[in-house]
Amino acid sequence: MELPAKPKIIVEPPGPKAREIIKRDEKLTSPSLTRTAPLVGVRAEGVWVEDIDGNVYLDFGSGIAVANVGHSHKKVVEAIKRQVETCDHINSCDYFTVPQVEYAERLLAKLPGNFAKRVFFGNSGAEAVECAIKIAKWHSKKPYLIGFIGGFHGRTMGALSLTTTNASARRFFFPMMPGAMHVPYAYCYRCLYKQSYPDCGMWCIGYIEDVVLKKLISPDEVAGLIVEPIQGAGGYIVPPKEFLPGLRRICDANSIIMIADEVQTGFGRTGKMISCEHWNVIPDIILMSKAMAGGLPMSACISKADLMDWEPSAHENTLGGNPIVVAAALAVLDILAEERLIENAEKVGGYMLKRFKEIMDECNLVGDVRGKGMMVGIELVKDRETKEYATKERDDLILRTFKRGLLILGAGPSSIRLAPPLITTTDQAEIGIQIFEEELKAVSK
C-alpha cells in the first residue's frame, strides 16, 4: 500500500464495488451489527485505511482503539509469520507454551501493584469481564456486583448484566445475571444528581457509601465493583480526580474487589500503560483487550495472585493464549517501548485536546471536549444551556467526514470518540482536525 500524505478520495464513497459488497453483506450477516459508515476496507497500514474502490482514509478510530501501534505494523506481521511457521495452536487448558509464559512475565511486570499477580488469557474484552466476574464470586463467595450507568463491558450475558450504555443492548434478554447493581458514573457534564462539580461534595461517591451500601445491599454481600476509569462507549467520559481514589477507598473499607475495565483505555491509549495510573489507583483486577495483539483477538484478566485461588476446571477456554496471537502481543509490547508510543500519545493527544477546545470556542454545537492522551471525546448539543442531545447532527458529521476521508466513531447519545493510532504525528492529527472542523461548521449551519 502506497502511503499518502493526506486522505485520497477518488470516487465518492461508498463506491460501486463497496455498494456491491454491502448489498451482499446485508443478505448474510446479523442485522444486530451497527455500521458507523459504509466502509469496505481491504488494506490498512499505519494510520491509513484503503477501501475496495481505492479511497484512502485517515483513521481516527483505530478500529475502536485496537490499532494502537498502527495497522499492519511490520514487526507484528513478522512475528505472526515466524510463529505460524513453527506452531499455530496448542490449547492452553491442556498444555503449556513458551510464548504465553514469556508474555505473562512481561505484561505483569508493566502493570502497577507491588504484589504477585496472575493472568487468564481470553479472546475478547467481554471474555475478560466474564473471567473477572467469576474470580470475584469464587474468591469472595458473595452474590452482588456494582457497576456504573453508561458503562460498557460486553454483550455476553454476565458482562451484559453490567452494561448500561443503552436499552437496546439489554432489550428482551431478561433475566440476566442476578445481583448486578447500577449507580451513576461521575459524568459531571450531565450529572444524574443534578449537581455541579466541585461543589457537589462528590455525591456519586457518597451515594454508594450512604445509600447503596447502607440501604440497598450489605457490604458483606458485595463481591466486586467494576468501573471503566474513563467510560468508552458511554461517551469518552473522564471523571474528576477524586472519583477513582474514592472508589478505591470504598472497596478497601468494605472488602470489595475493585475491577478496572481497561479494555479500551489500555496499552498507552491515554498516555499511560493503563489509565488508572493517572489517578495513582491500583485495582485488584485489571481487564485488557482491544490493542493487546495488534488487531488479533486477545484479552487478559489480571488479578492479585491470592484472588485467583480457584480450583482446576473452574474456568478454562480453548483458544486463549494462542501462540500466534501471543507472538503478535509480544511484538506490540516491543513497539510501544521502542517507538515511545505512550509518550507520543500524551504529546499528540494533548495537542488534539487543545485544538478541539479551540474549535469549541468557535462552534456552539460543541457542548464539551474531554479526554486523556489519544482518547478524546467531543459531545455535540443543540443548545449549550439545555444540553439537548444533537444525535442527528453527530451522525451527519460522521458521514460527512467519512466522505472526506476521515474515519471517526460515535459514542453515547451524541458524542464523537477519537482514538487515532498512537503512531499518529501532530501533522497527521492536524489534517484530521481540519477536516473535522470544516464539516462540523457545515453541520452546525
- Torsion region of 172: left, alpha or beta (phi above 0 gives left; psi -120 to 50 gives alpha): left
Q: What number is the average pLDDT over the span 393-408? A: 98
Q: What is the pLDDT of residue 106?
A: 98
Reported confidence tier of residue 249, pLDDT bands at 50, 70, 90: very high
Query: Which amino acid makes up residue 317?
Result: N
Q: What is the pLDDT of residue 373?
A: 98
Q: What number is the average pLDDT over the span 189-193? A: 97
Query: Please, which residues have CB within 8 angstroms of residue 98's CB and are 6 or more apart in sequence?
Result: none
Q: What is the pLDDT of residue 1?
A: 75
Percent of the chain with pLDDT over 70: 100
The position carrying cell 474502490 is 53
Reported confidence tier of residue 420, pLDDT bands at 50, 70, 90: very high
Mapped to the 3 state alphabet, what secondary structure does 248-281 carry?
Answer: HHHHHHHCCEEEEECCCCCCCCCCCCCHHHHHCC
Q: Say how many CA atoms lie within 13 Å of 123 toward its Cβ.
A: 11
- Distance (Å, rounded) from C-alpha 14 to C-alpha 16? 7
Q: What is the pLDDT of residues 96-153, one digit of tens each?
A: 999 999 999 999 999 999 999 999 999 999 999 999 999 999 999 999 999 999 999 9
Q: What is the pLDDT of residue 171?
A: 92
Q: What residue segments make up the domains of the chain, in order of their start?
A: 16-59+340-444, 77-338
- Distance (Å, rounded) from C-alpha 68 to C-alpha 47? 10
CATH superfamily, with its number, for domain 16-59+340-444: Aspartate Aminotransferase, domain 1 (3.90.1150.10)
**DSSP character for 2?**
P
Reported confidence tier of residue 321, pLDDT bands at 50, 70, 90: very high
For residue 445, pLDDT beyond 90? no
Q: What is the pLDDT of residue 103?
A: 98
Q: What number is the average pLDDT over the span 246-275? A: 98
> What grid cell was written down for 190?
450531565
- Torsion region of 149: left, alpha or beta (phi above 0 gives left; psi -120 to 50 gives alpha): beta
Percent of the chain with pLDDT over 90: 98
Q: Which contiguous run of DSSP H or E holds residue 51?
A: strand 48-51
Reported confidence tier of residue 3, pLDDT bands at 50, 70, 90: confident
Q: What number is the average pLDDT over the span 178-183? A: 97
For residue 409, pLDDT beyond 80? yes
Q: What is the pLDDT of residue 81?
A: 98
Q: What is the pLDDT of residues 208-226, one digit of tens each?
A: 999 999 999 999 999 999 9
> What grid cell was written down for 125?
474484552
Q: What is the pLDDT of residues 11-65, one digit of tens each?
A: 999 999 999 999 999 999 999 999 999 999 999 999 999 999 999 999 999 999 9
Q: Around Cβ 167, how many Cβ atoms within 10 Å? A: 7
Q: Torsions phi, psi of 7, nearest 5?
A: -55, 150
**77-338: CATH topology:** Aspartate Aminotransferase; domain 2 (3.40.640)
Question: Across all residues in the chain, what is the average pLDDT?
Answer: 97
